[in-house]
A and B are shown apart, each in its own frame.
Chain A
Amino acid sequence: MSNPVQTTPPRIAELPANLTKSLNGELGGQEVLAWSEFDLNQSNKIEQSYAVLTSASLIRVAEGRKTVVAVGEITEAKIHEGLGMDRLVVKSAGEQFDLRYSRKFRRDAVRLHRHLARLLPDQEGKPKEDRPAWLEQIERQAEQQEKCPKCGTFIPAYAERVCPKCSQSRTILWRLLDVARDYRGMLAFALGLTFIQAGFLALTGMVNRHLIDDAIVNSVNTVAERMASLRFWALIFAAVIVAGELVGWGRGSILTNVGRLITRDLRHRVYAHMHSLSLRFFAKRRSGSLITRVTNDTDRLWDFIVFGSVDVVRDALIIIVSVSMMFWMNWRLALIALSPLPFIAIITWWRGKTMHRLFGRLWTYWSRMSAVVGDATGGVRVVKAFAAEQREIARFEKRNQQYAEKELEVNRMWVRMQPLVSTIMRMSMLLIWVVGGYFLITDPSPANSIGTLTAFTFYVGMFFGPINSIANSARMVTRAASSAQRVFEVLDTPPEVYTRAGAFKKDSLEGRIEFRNVGFSYEGAQPAMRDVSITIEPGMMIGLCGHSGAGKSTFVNLICRFYDVTEGQILIDGVDLRDYDVHWIRQQIGVVLQEPYLFHGTISDNIRYGRPDASDMEVIEAARAANAHDFIVGFPDGYDTMVGERGQSLSGGERQRISIARAILHNPKILVLDEATSSLDTETERQIQEAMNRLVTGRTTIAIAHRLSTLRAADRLVVLDKGRIAEEGTHDELYDKPDGVYAKLYKTQMEMNQQIGIK
C-alpha cells in the first residue's frame, strides 16, 4: 500500500517528529488534512494523545498505540462542550472515540472537527457537495498564516501571531540596547565621562591624604614649607572637586537628553504601531494595559537604558577604584576595613528582596483601594440611584484600612533594617580608626599615617551607596526586561489586516458589494457568520435586522475590513476586499455609529474628522444637510463649541446629527448606519430621518435597522439569524410570511410602540 513514490508529504499540517514515528507509515501516501493533540484521558487527567485525519481515515495515537477508523465508517462527529474542556466524540460502526482536550488544544481540535465534518454525509444522508477550489485555497492560506514564518511551529492563539519561541530567542535586553542605537555616540561619551568622574572621586581621597600628611600633621618640614604644601593641596582639592562636579554635570545632562530622545522615539514607535494593529488586538486587551505600555513601560525603559545601565558601570567602577586605592595604600588595613562588607552586601540584598516583595503587595493593596474609587465615581449615578453611598464608603474604608495595615508592616521592616545597616557601616569606620590607630602608634610609617586613615574612611563611606544599587540592579534588570517584553509585544505584533503587496486604489467606486460564502469566527469554535452570500447593488439600501448576536455587527465589521473573513470572500465592485489598499477602501466607507463617538475638540473638528481639509463652508453645508446647523449656531460658541470626551454636553439627538454631518462631509460611496435603539422624541426623530434620507441618497447603504421607518425605507431587508441569512426580501414580502422571523420581529415592535405611544 505504501509505495514510497506515491507518498506526498503532508502539506497543510506538519506532524511533529514523534508522531510521524509512531504513525509508522500508516498514512500510506494520504495527505494529512488536519491533526490535533489531545491532553486529557477518559478520567480527565493529563495524558497525551493525538488524532490525525487523512481523507481516508482517522487515526488515534495514544501511548504509541494506533487505532484506525475508516472515514467511510464514521457516522457522526460532534463536539460536546464542557466546562474548561470539550469532548470530540466520533462514532462509527465499531469504535467510538471520545477525544478530550483542554482549552490549550481547542483550536486544533476544532480544526480537525471541521475537516472531518466535511468528509461526512450530512444528516439527510446525502454527501456534501464539493467545496469550490478557491475556498480551499483561502482556508489553506489562513492556516498557513498561523505558523511562524521563521521556525514553522504553530503559534498559540494567545500569542497574537508573535511566535513566542522566536521572540525569546533573541535576548530582550540586547534588543533594548538596539533601541538606543541611534544615540550610541552620545551614550559612549557619557560612559567615558563616567570613567573620568569615578577617577576624580578616587583622587579626592588621595588629595585628602596628602593635605593631612604633607601639610597639617607634618612634623618634618618647616612651617613655611607646610604652608606652601597646604596651599598647593588645598588648590588641588578644590580643582578636583570642581572638575569632578563639572564632569558629573556634563554626564548628567547628556544622559537626560539622550533619555528624552530615546523615550520619545520609543513612545512614537509603540503608539504608531498600535494604530496599525487590528481591532482584534484591542479587543483582547484592556485599554488601561495599552495606555501603560505607551506611558509607564516606555518610561521605565528610559530609566533603565539611561541611568540603569550607565549607573551600574559607574558603581562598579567606584567600588573597584576605592578598593584598589585602599589596597595600594595599606593592604592590611584594607582587609580589615572591608571585613564587614560581606555582611552588608548580604543584608542589603536580602532587604532589597524583602522590600521589593512588600512594596509589590503594598502596591496591590493600593490599586485595590483605587479601584473602589474608580468604580464608584464611574458608576456614581447607579450608586446614587440605589442610595448606596454608605455601602461604597464602607467598601472603601475596608480597603483603606487594609492598605494602612500593610503600610505599617512595610515601615516596620524598613525601620528595623536601617539601623542595622548603619550600625555596621559606622562600626567599620570605628574599626579603621582603632586598628589604624594601633598601626600608627606601633609603626608610624607613611602607610599608617593619619592622612591614610582619613582617606580610608572616605573610601569606605563612598562605596556603601554603590553596593546598595548593585545589590538591587538584578531586580532592576528583570523589571526593565518585563517592561521591554510588554513593549516589544506590541512592536512585534504584525498588523493582521494589512495591505497586500500589489493592492490598488481606484479612481472611483461604484459601490457594489458582494458576499460569497462568507464565514467568520472571532475566536475558537463559535462561528459568528456562516456561509453568507448576498449582492448589494450600487446605491441600494439594505436593512439588516435580527436578534442581538445574530451577526449584524459582524457583517459591518467585515465590510469595513476591521477583520478579514475566515472563509469565502467579500467583493467590492467585483474585486476582493483584501486586494484594495486598506486605508483607501476605508476612506470610501462611512460609518454612523449607534453611540457616536465625539473626540475631545470643537464641533467643527469633529465634523471635519473624515476630511480635515474641508472648508468652513463645506462644514456648514454638511451640517445643514444633517439638520444640525441651526442648533450648532444656537450654541454660544457655535462651531467652536468644545465637546467633552464623550460629548456629554450634547443630547443624544444632537450627537447623532453631528455624526451624520461628519459622514456627509466624508462623502463615502458606501455607508454603514448603526441605528440607535433608543427612541427619540418625534420632532428630533423627524429631523434625523430627514438628514438620514439626504445622507443615503446615491450611496450603497447598509443599515442595522431598529426603527420601523428605516425598515420600510430600505430597498431590501436581510434578516440574520445565528450568523446565517434567514430571510431576504422587501418589507411587504417578509411581512406576509406567516411564520417568518421578520414578521414576528416587526409585530412585536409594533405592539411595543403602541404600548409606549409611538407611531
Chain B
Amino acid sequence: MSFTLSENIDHTLTLHRPGQDDVADVRLRRSFPWTKANELVSVRDEKGKEQALIERLSDLPAAQRAIVDRWLAANSFIPIILRVESVNVDFGYQQWGVQSDRGPLRFRVQEREDIRFLPDGRFSIKDVEGNVYAMPRLEELDPQSRRAVEALL
C-alpha cells in the first residue's frame, strides 16, 4: 500500500501519501458497484479527480478496511429490499411498498425500464426521485413478494 486513509471528526477522509501533500475530504467511489462491489474502489478528491485506486478491499490492512467500510456505509444509501409488500400500477407509475434493510419504504417507479436485471440475477430499481434500490434474486424472495414483482419484470 502506497497510501493510507485517515478519518476525521466530521466523517471525512484524508488521504496520506509518502512524499506528497495530504488530500483532505477525499471520497470513495466503486468502479463496478453492482458487479464488483469490493474491488477497484476509486479514491477521489473534492473535484472528482482520482487520487488513488484500491484494487481489492480485501488486500487492505484491517484498520484501513474498517475505515473504508465505515465511510462507504455512512455515505451511501442503496436500500436492499427484503420484502415487497405491494406493487400497484397506478396511472402509469408503479407504487412500491417494501421492507428494506433501512426500514419501510414507499417509492414510485416510472417505467419498466427503470428496473434493471443484473447479470447475477439481482435487480436494481430506480425510482422517480433518482434513488436506487437493490432487490435480491427472485428465488431469494418470499412467495408473496415474488408474485408481487413478477408481473412487472
Chain A residues in the interface with B (C-beta under 8 A): 40, 44-47, 80-85, 87, 89, 91, 96, 98, 100, 102-104, 106, 156-159, 168, 172, 289, 357, 360-361, 364, 478, 481-482, 484-486, 489
Contact = CB atoms under 8 A, between A and B. Distances in A.
29 contacts: A44-B102, A46-B104, A47-B103, A80-B12, A80-B75, A82-B27, A82-B77, A83-B77, A84-B77, A84-B131, A85-B76, A85-B77, A87-B11, A87-B74, A87-B75, A91-B10, A103-B127, A103-B131, A104-B131, A106-B129, A156-B128, A357-B151, A360-B151, A478-B89, A481-B91, A485-B91, A485-B92, A486-B92, A489-B92
Contacts of A157: 129
Contacts of A96: 10
Contacts of B131: 84, 102-104
Contacts of B102: 40, 44-46
B74 to A, nearest CB: 7
A103 B129 contact: yes
B153 interface: yes
B86 interface: no
Interface in B91-146: 91-92, 102-105, 108, 110-112, 127-132
A539 B31 CA distance: 49
A575 to B, nearest CB: 37
Contacts of B63: none
Contact of B91 (A47, A103, A168): A168
Contacts of B91: 168, 172, 481-482, 484-485
B150 interface: yes
A81 B71 CA distance: 12
B103 A361 contact: no
B42 to A, nearest CB: 12
A46 B105 contact: yes
B62 interface: no
B29 interface: yes
The 9 closest A-B pairs by CB, nearest first: A82-B75, A46-B103, A85-B77, A485-B91, A158-B128, A83-B76, A103-B130, A84-B77, A485-B92
Contact of A364 (B11, B27, B153): B153
Contacts of A87: 11, 74-75
Nearest to A159: B128
Contacts of A83: 29-30, 33, 72, 75-78
Contacts of B29: 83
Contact of A81 (B10, B27, B33, B127): B27
B75 to A, nearest CB: 3
B1 interface: no
Nearest to A722: B47
A482 B77 contact: no
Contacts of A98: 10-11
A157 B25 CA distance: 29
Interface string B27-40: 10110010000000
A345 to B, nearest CB: 22
Nearest to A353: B151
Contacts of A106: 129-130
A485 B95 CA distance: 14
Contacts of B153: 361, 364
Contacts of A361: 153
Contact of B89 (A46, A168, A482): A482
B73 A156 contact: no
Interface residues of B, number: 35
A158 B30 CA distance: 27
A482 B152 CA distance: 14
Given A83-B29, A172-B91, A102 B129 contact: yes
Contacts of A85: 75-77
A89 B128 contact: no
A106 B108 CA distance: 16
A481 B92 CA distance: 8
Contacts of A481: 91
Given A44-B73, A83-B33, A87-B74, 6 more contacts: A44-B102, A45-B102, A82-B77, A84-B76, A84-B131, A103-B130
A103 to B, nearest CB: 4
A83 B134 CA distance: 13
A675 to B, nearest CB: 28
Contacts of B72: 83
Contacts of B77: 40, 44, 82-85, 100, 102
A44 B74 CA distance: 7
B86 to A, nearest CB: 15
Interface string B76-87: 111000000000
Given A47-B103, A478-B89, A357 B150 contact: yes
B10 A45 contact: no
A63 B131 CA distance: 24
A84 B104 contact: no
A82 B27 CA distance: 8
Nearest to A360: B151
B76 A82 contact: yes
A40 B74 CA distance: 10
Contacts of B104: 46
Contacts of B129: 102-104, 106, 156-158
Given A87-B75, A89-B10, A104-B131, A482 B92 contact: yes
Q: Which of B29, B74, B77, B78 has the most CB atoms of chain A within a 10 A radius of its CB?
A: B77
Nearest to A487: B92
A403 to B, nearest CB: 15
A461 B137 CA distance: 47
A127 to B, nearest CB: 24
Contacts of A89: 10-11
Contacts of B128: 156, 158-159
Q: Which of A47, A84, A481 has the most CB atoms of chain B within a 10 A radius of its CB?
A: A84
Contacts of B33: 83
B32 to A, nearest CB: 13
A47 B104 CA distance: 10
Nearest to B11: A98
B111 A84 contact: no
Contacts of A486: 92
Contacts of A102: 77, 129, 131
A702 B99 CA distance: 54
Contacts of B111: 289
A89 B74 CA distance: 13
Contacts of B108: 158
Nearest to B91: A485
Interface in B1-25: 10-12, 25
Contacts of A357: 150-151
Nearest to B47: A722
A504 B51 CA distance: 54
Contacts of B12: 80
B126 to A, nearest CB: 10
A489 B76 CA distance: 32
Contacts of B105: 46
B153 to A, nearest CB: 7
Nearest to B147: A357
B103 A84 contact: no
A478 B94 CA distance: 13
A157 B76 CA distance: 21
A84 B33 CA distance: 12
Contacts of B30: 83
A486 B127 CA distance: 17
Contacts of A172: 91
Contacts of B73: 44
A47 B130 CA distance: 19
A594 B95 CA distance: 42
A426 B113 CA distance: 44
A364 B111 CA distance: 13
A168 to B, nearest CB: 7
A159 B33 CA distance: 28
Q: Which of B110, B112, B128 has the most CB atoms of chain A within a 10 A radius of its CB?
A: B128
A190 B131 CA distance: 49
